Chain A
Amino acid sequence: MGRMVVRFLYQDAYVGSVLRQHAVAEQSTDNGLKHAEQKQMSDPPGWNLEEHELATVRRLAGDWIACETGIRSAAEVARILDEAGEKTLRLDASSLSRWDSALIAFVKMLRDSARTGRARAVQIDESGLPDAARRLLALAAAGTTEAASASVPHPSLTTRVGEAYFDAWSKTVAAAALVGETALRGTAATAHRTRTRGVDVLQCVREAGAGALSIVSIVNGLVGAILAFVGAVQLQRFGAGIYVADLVGIATVREMAAIGTAIVLAGRTGGAYAAQLATMQGNEEIDALKSLGIPVFDFLVLPRIAALVTMTPLLYLYGCAVGLFGGYIVSMATLDLTSASFLEELRGAVAGTQFAIGLTKSLAFGALVALTGCHIGLRAGRSAADVGRAATEAVVAGIVGVIALDAVFAICTSSLGI
């Protein structure tokens, strides 16, 4: 529903007074208010030119709403300034219906372009704009007096290589320091000389140990079964089906249970530690601990390391049991063996040294996963993306570290002849 309003346009006093009638259908009740009472089609914005003796008048008309009618481009602004030529450019907003930041953006672009890159700066007379727009422009101008930040210079190749080297070196040093600190503070903790709380250790133990039982069962059980299956098919050809017991036994106890459990824990718990510590970093919780003088290592990192170092060997033993059981089931199902003969062969194969090797490995793996998780978590940035990145890095580093450490163990044990 429109309301016909007769509007008058007054020419500037310099060129005498001429009355013109200008009828505009208006749907908002106040000048400058952009919120109509019902949805309407936008009037296309116009900036009609009128030449006068001393000034070029641009009559702004229609709706100037950023989301609906867009912003004027730099080319249009340049053309308007060119057409103003030597004269003052006067803006007249009497035909303007609705406006918002689009108008402010337009005038700001005019102002900026009028001064830069022109032989002679164009004078702009803004007295014809609505009062509210002029006040907002004043606010905008006051805010832009700060200089824009200088662009960062692009570093050369040698700088980048050098920085990468120093980065890698400091990371190695930090990792070594972490291992050393764990050893020192760990022994101190057992003598109750640190700020580690027993309740924190128990909480971490519960999450890392009991919480992982189901996934450890599934992974190790299935891996044991798969080993038995693959082995049975091959060994059956030589009539050596009974040696499946040896295969499953040695492979599970010496390698697969330890690696499988460690990788599962790296994914599950290493990532969780990194994400927890990274989020605490972002929430300034670490800062709060430091400012109170509570050592972060003792309070946050030691419980986690203690939990994984104690739980991983236990989970390994549990994984061995489940894996051997899975292998047993498959062997019984696919081969023509008696239960007693299988178990006897198994008992002979997995002598004490296999378990000892497996246990040592799982201890080392547990410490590695905890250390990488905590170290990467504490080093993380403070944004949401950084937390995700830290979790991913911790998981990848944990898994790669476990496999690498396993290779080292393999070399050591083979050279020791066990």
Chain B
Amino acid sequence: MNQRDDIEARLREFRPRRPAMIPDERLQLLRGPIWIAVAAAIAASMLIVAWLRRPSTPEPVAPTLGTLTAIALERPDDLDAVLTTISRTSLPDVTRPGGALQSLSKL
């Protein structure tokens, strides 16, 4: 028994070698959070671009010749949208029930 203890003690004097660092450990450690951050950044930038590109609704303007002329001269690109908005509120809806379109269709 003592002889076995002796040889055990001799064996224990030998120390197992320390293994090399796990390859690309730092990269492996960062890979998860980096992909989460990249995905979040892409999603955020897409949302911002979509928000900036949303169609602008023109401010309500008085449907007068003066204001329309001013818009046509100063912001010609907006004129079409302004006219569409004005026509929605000032012109009658010909498609409503009992409207002009329905009356004409009965003739």
Do A and B pair up? The answer is: no
Residues of B in contact with A (beta carbons under 8 Å apart): none
